[in-house]
Amino acid sequence: MPHTAEWKVRLHLFEDDQGTTEAEVVPDTGTMALTGHGTAQCHPADTNVPEIGDELAAGRAMNNLAQQVLNAAERDIADTGAPRATRQVAGWPV
């Protein structure tokens, strides 16, 4: 059975005066209420480059959201009575 879906994702970035960048990633799936969170801190000895903080915080927030989505899928699979999903990882163990 074919299935098509579109999830819109909003990414919010906030930087404070101390060089800390916080990111929130919020998907609009119509059924899930999840928010990914990530932060990045500029080391005092480093040059403050806001784009790098944005990239790190956003990447960490998306990684956090990805893990939440995978956890939700595993719970949904368990709710169907199917055996727990196994992740196949190519290369090095995670």
pTM of the model: 0.81
**Residue 82, pLDDT above cutoff 80:** no
3-class SS at 88? coil
Structure tokens at 93: 């163990």
CATH fold for domain 8-79: Double Stranded RNA Binding Domain (3.30.160)
| Cβ-based neighbour number of residue 54 at 10 Å | 16
- Number of H-type helices and E-type strands within the chain: 1, 3
Q: Which residues contact 35 (CB under 8 A, 6 or more apart)?
A: 24, 25, 26, 65
Spacing of C-alpha 16 from chain mean position: 21
pLDDT digits (tens, 9 = 90+) for 3-52: 999 999 999 999 998 889 999 999 999 888 999 999 999 988 998 889 99
